[in-house]
Amino acid sequence: MGRKTEMIQTTPCVALLLLVGVAFAARSASAITDGLLPNGNFEEAPDKSQMNGTRVTGRYAIPQWEISGFVEYIGSGQKQGDMLLPVPEGAYAVRLGNEASIQQRLTLTRGMHYSITFSAARTCAQSELLNITITPESGEIPIQTVYTSSGWDSYSWAFKAKHSVVLFIVHNPGVSDDEACGPLIDSFAIKTLNPPQRTKGNMLKNGGFEEGPYIFPNTSWGVLVPPMDEDDYSPLSPWTILSTTKSVKYIDAAHYAVPGGARAVELVSGMETAMLQEVSTVPGRSYRLEFSVGDAGDGCSGSLTVQAYASRGSVKVTYQSQGTGGYKRGLLEFTATEKRTRVVFVSMAYTTKSDGTLCGPVIDDASLVSVRSHRRFLL
Ligand SMILES: *[C@@H]1O[C@H](CO)[C@@H](O)[C@H](O)[C@H]1NC(C)=O
Ligand SMILES: *[C@@H]1O[C@H](CO)[C@@H](O)[C@H](O)[C@H]1NC(C)=O
Ligand SMILES: *[C@@H]1O[C@H](CO)[C@@H](O)[C@H](O)[C@H]1NC(C)=O
């Protein structure tokens, strides 16, 4: 009784403290944390009064998000005709109809680089890309090729924050006859990308691919790094992925066999995709490129061949895969002809797993040294 009175008496003071606390919290909110965006997996549901069947009718009905156009809220077990619509994570996902979009405001640190990871699946095999905007810039992610047997793939997209508050918009630019034929999307996460540093004894940065997009700790299908324009920021910076529509797969040691460290890249798109990094070189000087070629332990068996190019040199490295993990080292010695040299890796064949999905050789731990300085080091 006496205690309660005391509490009531001190309430104004507590309220003031709370207010000050809130003000501080608001100021420090700029540092977004790595992981799921607020309601990024759509598990917080819209109110039934703001839905008509699966269609979301209220603009602000899905907590933390704003929608426009024909947006559906899909629960696991939901069917379209005879087809069961799978949900990759949790119990709910969202479907974007023709020209529909969903958006969220993000508070970032201006000038920093970030990568967004999310999952998407096509439903009627019609939508072939998603338009991603981080104001003021946008880009397109092809979702044409499916790399998993479930139909769900995770994608990554990187950007530099031009402002501290930005709008993140996912838009389906598709115009299909059936409005309900758009892609399903789920599980949006963000990661701050640290600028890759040069490590001692390696002219390549991020040679072990340890810096890359967010991978959900419990998703077992890796994250695709889609092709990009050469001036776009890469989630695997400074490595860029060149292709028209095909991706490479970023994989983690928790779910795959990785030659070194915690991450590696699986070249899943055959000759259609090149992964490259440009380095400063001295014309006339000799260099030695070394790298690991192996398999991800994901059942991708057969002859997996990677071709590496640098300047006028090239080498083919074939690894005989049982699909259970393992690797060998490849070596390319070349003489630079220019001040900038591109180091390029390409898989030389299309390989599929027994379930029919695309797979390929794993590349990891790439290093480049100047042979002259290397010899001096050995002496
Ligand atoms: C729900 O959608 C159906 C089909 O489009 C429509 O006929 C009906 O009027 C809608 N109901 C409400 C309450 O808007
Ligand atoms: C992954 O873990 C998170 C957090 O523990 C959980 O909410 C989510 O349902 C899990 N997802 C999957 C695919 O198991
Ligand atoms: C992508 O979205 C942005 C912003 O919503 C828009 O300005 C742009 O025109 C869109 N691009 C396509 C191809 O729809």
For ligand 3, whether the C-beta of 335 sits within 6 Å is: no
- Cα of 272 vs centre of ligand 2, distance in Å, is 33
pLDDT in the model for residue 125: 63
Condensed to tens digits (0 to 9), the pLDDT of residues 108-129 reads 999 999 999 999 998 876 667 8
Asked if residues 75 and 87 have their Cβ atoms less than 8 Å apart, the reply is: yes
In this structure, which ligand is nearest to the CA of 58? 1
For ligand 2, whether the C-beta of 89 sits within 6 Å is: yes
- Cα of 187 vs centre of ligand 2, distance in Å, is 10
- The CATH class given to the 240-378 domain equals mainly beta
pLDDT in the model for residue 262: 97
- Cα of 103 vs centre of ligand 3, distance in Å, is 13
Q: Is 240-378 in the same CATH topology as 35-193? A: yes
For ligand 2, whether the C-beta of 90 sits within 6 Å is: yes
Q: Where are the alpha helices (DSSP H) in the chain?
A: 2-28, 371-378
**Buried-exposed string 72-85: b where 16+ CB fall within 10 A, e elsewhere:** bbbeeebebeeeeb
pLDDT in the model for residue 3: 41
Instruction: Measure CA of the first residue to CA of the last residue in the chain; give whole Å.
Output: 83
Helix, strand or coil, per DSSP, at residue 117: strand
What residues of the chain score a pLDDT lower than 70?
A: 1-31, 125-127, 373-379
Partnered with residue 210 across adjacent β-strands are: none
Condensed to tens digits (0 to 9), the pLDDT of residues 177-201 reads 787 788 999 999 999 999 898 988 9
pLDDT in the model for residue 323: 96
131: number of Cβ within 10 Å = 16
The overall pTM is greater than 0.95: no
pLDDT in the model for residue 31: 65
232: number of Cβ within 10 Å = 18
Residue spans of the domains in the chain: they are: 35-193, 240-378
pLDDT in the model for residue 15: 45
For ligand 3, whether the C-beta of 167 sits within 6 Å is: no
Partnered with residue 313 across adjacent β-strands are: 310
For ligand 3, whether the C-beta of 133 sits within 6 Å is: yes
Amino acid at 230: E
Distance of CA 61 to the CA centre of its chain: 27
User: What CATH number labels 35-193?
Assistant: 2.60.120.260
